[in-house]
A and B are shown apart, each in its own frame.
Chain A
Amino acid sequence: MAEGYSKKVMEHFLNPKNVGVIENPDGYGKVGNPVCGDQMEIYIKVKNDVITDIKFKTFGCGSAIATSSMVTELAKGKHVDEAMKLTRNDVADELDGLPPQKMHCSNLAADALHEAIKDYKSKKK
């Protein structure tokens, strides 16, 4: 496969989980920009500090889409403090690795999640 993507990356690219937006989300995170070629937006719904629903929209390459999908899967059902600990490496590992030059894309997916959680926490205060 192009750029040496794992089967798991391709599965998440082709059939991404949790695509979409949440109206009136409890948290919203956006990272990247179209100029760089990657932009991700993550929406979360939180109940008792647990992420009950999560959706994403991503503009970007194969791994950008796959990592977005994966990070939403990993975060769903987790306590926000646990979800905050998810790293780019966790996401890449769950996808059976990413080509080295793509590591910055998975970084973005985790970052978008963190931004959404921060947004949730700041609203809560």
Chain B
Amino acid sequence: MLEQLCGFNGESMKRIYLDHASSMPVDPRVFEFAKPYLLENFGNPSSLHSIGLKAKDALEESRAKIASFINAEKENCIVFTGSATEANNLGIRGTALRNISQGKTVVASAIEHMSVLNPMKDLQKNGFTFNTIPVDSTGIVDLEKLESLITKDTVVTSIMYANNEIGTIEPIKKISKIVHEKGIYLHVDATAAVGRIPINVQEGEIDLLTLSSNDLYGPKGAGALYIKPGLKLQSVIPGGGQERGLRSGTENIFAIVGMGEAARIAQQEMDQESKRLKVVRDKLIEEILKIDEAYLTGHPIERLPHHASFRFSYIEGESILLNMDMYNIQVATGSACSHKTLEPSHVLLAIGLKHEEAHGSMAMTLGRSNTIKEVPTIVKAVRETVQRLRKLSPLYNK
């Protein structure tokens, strides 16, 4: 069946890329805007000569664009890093270590990204207490548990704006209220949410916020941490003192300039684009849920507009991913086989799925290249993939 459909790897078929949560192409406008900073404007922003100053200007212009994008109080609230992972590390370690006198407990939801959970586990090895907050079956943080598990001894709590694997959007304002009533700092990883839904750090009363460039159609190699005015952090990368001394290392000007421009474009186009993608997403979900024993993972309403995630009984996610790739459709999975640890996704386990259920997961994240016209092709590929793998599966007896 499949060999008739396509060649060995389906390259003859039009590519339908549905893994934007993993990686996004750079917007050509962003590339054109940032390109001179790889070539003629190659200066080091720390140099005082004209070439250095040009780079410094570009760096500060980009900082201003990011600040405006998330409504930061001041431009210097933004600290550029090399990735969202690094921003998460700086936000959590930097806050915990600098404000140790306020307490030695760190708190995160059970569905945070590894770049939040692992720095906290690391702090735990160094004498901190680490508490995780459970989520319900849709991925929403348990607010009562949050209230009871953060104590006077807590220094920083980290809750993501939205989850990358199941698309659930957390009630950040409610969370912020609970955390702030106890006088604790709130770090929010907005990597999955940025560019999809509006983020306003002042309105959301957020102390620290992580952003990534690539999730805005900017180049990889740049991330940013918003730090509320007055909040003190310890550097996690000491060195030459760049970025307020919090993140040393010569700035990746190309990626940072690209990130700023990508944020400016997102600020203008996001509302319309998210509305467009939501229509595509809703149609995808509606059609895929018609497949026997297909289930939505994550929240049915409070979810990112570009995010559709599922699980299918009796089959395994890596097989789904590989099989979909044969149709030249790229998806993601939280199955164990796709992870270096050979453990299924901690997110899917946290929402209460059994191991065997978590193995059969598939996530689709839409982007600018996707259109409503692609939906029938995608749905047909999913249907055939599920059917083929179930035919192979000893667990399926229908």
- List the interface of chain A (C-beta within 8 A of B): 1-3, 5, 7, 10-11, 13-16, 19, 30, 34-41, 57-65, 101-102, 105
Say yes or no: B342 contacts A58, CB within 8 Å: no
- The answer to whether A14 touches B395 (Cβ under 8 A) is no
Contacting pair B322 A57 (CB below 8 A) = no
**Candidate in B323, B359, B392 with the most chain A CB atoms within 10 angstroms:** B392
Total residue contacts A-B, CB cutoff 8 A: 87
Is B316 an interface residue when CB atoms closer than 8 A count as contact? yes
B contacts with A, residue count (CB < 8 A): 30
Choose one: A10, A19, A105; the contact of B392 (CB below 8 Å).
A19
Contact of A34 among B323, B325, B356 (CB under 8 A): B356
Known A13-B319, A60-B319, A62-B318: A37·B359 in contact at CB below 8 Å: yes
Q: Is B222 an interface residue (CB 8 A)?
A: no
Known: A61-B318, A101-B342. A14 touches B2 (CB 8 A): yes
Q: From the candidates B319, B338, B356, B392, name the one contacting A57 in the complex (CB within 8 A).
A: B392
Q: Is the CB of B393 within 8 A of A61?
A: no
Bound-state CA distance A49–B356 (Å) is 37
- Mostly, the A contact residues are mixed
Q: Are A58 and B322 in contact (CB under 8 A)?
A: no
* Proximity bits, B174-208, A CB within 8 Å = 1, else 0: 00000000000000000000000000000000000
Shortest distance from the beta carbon of A22 to any chain B beta carbon, whole Å: 13
Contacts of B118 in A (CB 8 A): none
B394 lies within 8 A of A59 (CB): yes
The residues of B with any CB-CB pair to A shorter than 8 Å are: 2-3, 8-9, 314-316, 318-319, 321-323, 325-326, 335-338, 340, 342, 344, 354-356, 359, 391-395
Quick check: A1 and B395 within 8 Å, CB to CB?
no
User: Can you pick out 29 interface pairs between chain A and chain B where the beta carbons lie within 8 Å of each other?
Assistant: A2-B321, A2-B338, A3-B318, A10-B8, A14-B323, A14-B326, A15-B2, A16-B392, A30-B394, A35-B354, A37-B316, A37-B356, A37-B359, A39-B394, A39-B395, A57-B393, A58-B394, A59-B392, A59-B393, A59-B395, A60-B337, A61-B316, A61-B319, A61-B337, A61-B338, A62-B337, A63-B337, A101-B340, A102-B337
Report B-chain residues with C-beta under 8 Å of the C-beta of A2.
318, 321-322, 325, 338
Using Cβ atoms and an 8 Å threshold, which residues of chain A touch B340?
101
A13 and B322 form a contact (CB under 8 A): yes
Contacts A15-B2, A16-B392, A62-B318; is A37 near B355 (CB within 8 Å)? yes
